[in-house]
Amino acid sequence: MKNLLMLPIFLTLTAGQSLAETSTHSHSAAHQHQASQIGAPSEPGQGAFASIQEIVELLLTDPETEWERVDLEALRGHLADMDNVTLRSIVAVEPLANGARFTVTSKQGSVRQSIKNMVLAHSHEMSGTFGWNLSAEEIPDGAILTVTGTVEDAPRIQGLGFIGVMTLGMHHQSHHLAIARGHNPH
C-alpha cells in the first residue's frame, strides 16, 4: 500500500525531470504558443535581434556546435552592415541594355564601409543567379555593382533595383549561420 501511495509522487517527479530536460527550442516554442494564447507578444521587436535569436536557438540545439569558434559579434556587425546598406545608402541607377549599374554611396564613413563590405563580398556570392553576371568595384564613397544578363533580363534587373538584386539567391540565412559559427563565408 505504501508503494502505491508513492507512485503519484514518483510520476510527478519524473515528469518534472523530463520537462526540465527538454531542449531550449521546445521550451521556447511552448512559451511562444502560451504567449500567443494569452495575447502576449511573440515577436522579439527588432529584425537584427530576431536574426541573432534564431541563430542562437540553432546553435544551442546543435550538438555539433564548436563553441570556441562561435562569433555572434561578427554576425551583429554583418547585420549592422545590412541595415546601413538597406536603409542609409544612396543608390544611383544607370540602366544598361542588358541590365543595370548601381552606384551605391554615402557621406557617412560607417555606411560607406558597410557598402564596401556588402557589395564587394556579395557580388561574388550572387553572381550566376538567374544566369546574371554581378561585378563590383570599390569607389571612394562606396561601391558600384554592375548586373548584366540578356537584353530580355534588363527589365527584371532594373525592376528589382539594387536592393532587390542584393536579396537574390536565398543565401543570407546560411550565410548568417556560417558567420555565427566563426567561419568566413566570403
Kindly report, residue by residue over 57-71, the tens digit of the pLDDT. Answer: 999 999 999 999 999
CB 49 within 8 A of CB 67: no
The closest alpha carbon to 107, from 145, 141, 138, belongs to: 141
- pLDDT value at residue 104: 98
- pLDDT value at residue 24: 44
Reported as type and span, the H/E element at residue 133 is strand 133-139
Average pLDDT in the chain? 83
User: Cα–Cα distances in Å, from 94 out to 99, 120, 134, 135?
Assistant: 9, 18, 15, 15
Tell me how far apart the alpha carbons of residues 25 and 29 are, in angstroms, rounded to a whole number: 6
Tell me how far apart the alpha carbons of residues 80 and 74 are, in angstroms, rounded to a whole number: 10
pLDDT at 47 over 80: yes
pLDDT at 72 over 50: yes
Provide, rounded to the nearest whole percent, the portion of the chain with pLDDT above 90: 62
- pLDDT value at residue 6: 41
Provide, rounded to the nearest whole percent, the portion of the chain with pLDDT above 70: 78
- pLDDT value at residue 36: 55
- pLDDT value at residue 170: 64
Specify the higher pLDDT residue, 19 or 178.
Answer: 178
Kindly report, residue by residue over 9-42, the tens digit of the pLDDT. Answer: 333 333 443 334 444 444 555 555 555 567 788 7
Amino acid (1-letter code) at residue 181: R
For 129-165, give one letter per residue: b (16+ CB within 10 A) or e: beebebebeeeebbbbbbbbbeeebbeebbebebeeb
Kindly report, residue by residue over 96-109, the tens digit of the pLDDT. Answer: 999 999 999 999 99
